[in-house]
């Protein structure tokens, strides 16, 4: 679909798939039932669900055993192809760790800081203690999800990191288990979807209660995160993948591949290609149609491409106004004169920005270093990619001497009495 003239009203009418799951009453009822079952029946409910949905065997165990870890290691070590894949994921892990260690230092997310008003005040920064990383199963295996969610937690100093992932016939991917060991994770649990969120929110006979759960998943998992977010901490409510491209030049075929690389994730994925050059837009559109015909995930792309819009603008400035309204998960910027040095002057709202025609979104999906867990559904207007900061929290402190209290007691007591809180006032007056 090519849109030649666009304004704020037209932009608001463009369908943004994925957010409607939050209002899916039928799915919400399913999630509420699962949560109640796990809350009151614990392991028994989880084992029943694993047998029903994951074809788990009779002797099914919720926790991955040490023997299963050893078997995974044997499989990897005896398969050259799998060994190479795992080694590539470890290269990725090294780059992701490098980025997040730099993030920790730059944001100064450890220790404490102190200042003085009358007494001493400040904040202490502490890591969350127990975190569950959810690694979805189903259509494919996602070791990159494991890495992207685990490493910032480790760098932040989280003491206990658990992994939850659905099993298939009671088995977990050997690649996932092998990488868990390499990342220092020794506790992996075979639970999926909404039941995973509930089990770590409340704890069961086998599964420990966690302080936080992070990671993507299906709509039931997302709805469970939202439902239980007041009981267990969450990172975000991720929706289908999104990409926007703003450009004034570029290789049409390469751009079509980048767009489709995000649209192949999910039938509800969204895409926007924005340019001043209508001929370029038409060429990218044609290349996209041609590529879909030969794609492995043709069925998914046939659906998601309905959510792909080609937008003609009169100026690049107008294009960036649209980009900042869309607030996309991924944004490619292929515009003459724009680089990492001045990108901040143009982009205000995006999950991650890929600058220049050689910087494919796929780089940040895997080995660039920045996290690929990104805000979707326009939530980049007010939220950020997953990072070390998600896994730390702050508490305030204050310390007054008797002399300092005498100095402040009058103003404090007057403020308290104005708000009708007599005992508040007396609490400072009676000390001096």
- Active-site annotation, residues: 329-330
3-class SS at 408?
Answer: helix
> Phi-psi bin for 347: left (phi > 0), alpha (psi -120 to 50), beta?
beta
d(CA 77, CA 83): 6
Angle between helices 278-294 and 252-263 (to 10 degrees): 60
d(CA 214, CA 223): 13
The string over 227-238, giving b where at least 16 C-beta atoms fall within 10 Å of a residue's C-beta and e elsewhere, is: bbeeebbbbbbb
d(CA 293, CA 29): 38
d(CA 228, CA 197): 8
CB atoms within 10 A of CB 341: 8
- 289: its two tokens: 């149609």
Closest CA to 245 of 356, 341, 337: 356
C-alpha of 89 from chain center: 19
Contact present, 236 and 209 (Cβ < 8 Å): no
Angle between helices 43-53 and 25-41 (to 10 degrees): 130
Contact present, 329 and 361 (Cβ < 8 Å): no
Q: Quote the Cα angle for 212-216-221, to 5°.
A: 75
DSSP H helix total and E strand total for the chain: 16, 14
The string over 368-390, giving b where at least 16 C-beta atoms fall within 10 Å of a residue's C-beta and e elsewhere, is: bbbbbbbbbbbbbeeeebbbbbb
Residue matched to tokens 């075979």: 190
Task: Give the pairing of strands 270-275 and 233-234.
Answer: unpaired
Q: First and final CA of the chain: distance in angstroms?
A: 74
């Amino acid at each position: 679909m090519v849109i030649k003239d666009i304004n704020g009203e037209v932009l608001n009418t463009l369908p943004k798939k994925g957010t409607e799951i939050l209002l899916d009453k039928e799915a919400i009822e399913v999630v509420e039932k699962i949560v109640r079952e796990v809350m009151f029946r614990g392991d028994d409910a989880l084992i029943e669900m694993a047998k029903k949905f994951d074809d788990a065997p009779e002797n099914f165990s919720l926790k991955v055993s040490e023997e299963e870890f050893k078997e995974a290691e044997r499989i990897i070590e005896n398969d050259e192809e799998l060994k190479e894949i795992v080694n590539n994921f470890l290269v990725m892990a090294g780059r992701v760790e490098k980025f997040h260690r730099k993030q920790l230092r730059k944001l100064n997310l450890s220790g404490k800081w102190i200042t003085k008003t009358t007494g001493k005040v400040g904040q202490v920064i502490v890591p969350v203690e127990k975190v569950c990383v959810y690694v979805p199963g189903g259509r494919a295996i996602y070791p990159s999800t494991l890495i992207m969610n685990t490493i910032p937690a480790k760098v932040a100093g989280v003491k206990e990191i658990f992994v939850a992932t659905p099993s298939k016939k009671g088995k977990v991917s050997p690649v996932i288990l092998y990488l868990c060991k390499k990342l220092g994770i020794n506790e992996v649990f075979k639970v999926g979807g909404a039941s995973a969120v509930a089990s770590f929110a409340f704890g069961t006979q086998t599964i420990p209660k966690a302080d936080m759960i992070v990671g993507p998943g299906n709509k039931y998992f997302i709805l469970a995160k939202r439902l239980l977010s007041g009981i267990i901490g969450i990172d975000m409510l991720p929706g289908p993948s999104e990409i926007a491209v703003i450009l004034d030049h570029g290789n049409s075929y390469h751009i079509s591949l980048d767009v489709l690389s995000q649209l192949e994730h999910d039938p509800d994925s969204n895409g926007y290609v924005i340019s001043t050059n209508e001929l370029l837009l038409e060429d990218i559109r044609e290349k996209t149609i041609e590529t879909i015909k030969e794609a492995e995930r043709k069925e998914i792309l046939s659906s998601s491409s309905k959510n792909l819009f080609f937008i003609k603008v009169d100026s690049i400035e107008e294009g960036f106004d649209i980009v900042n309204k869309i607030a996309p998960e991924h944004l490619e910027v292929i515009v003459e004169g724009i680089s990492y040095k001045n990108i901040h002057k143009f982009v205000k709202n995006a999950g991650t920005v890929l600058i220049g025609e050689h910087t494919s979104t796929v780089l940040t999906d895997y080995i660039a270093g920045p996290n690929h867990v990104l805000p979707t559904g326009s939530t980049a207007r007010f939220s950020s990619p997953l990072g070390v900061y998600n896994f730390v929290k702050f508490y305030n402190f204050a310390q007054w001497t008797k002399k300092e209290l005498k100095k402040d007691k009058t103003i404090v007591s007057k403020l308290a009495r104005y708000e009708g809180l007599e005992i508040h006032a007396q609490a400072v007056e009676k000390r001096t």
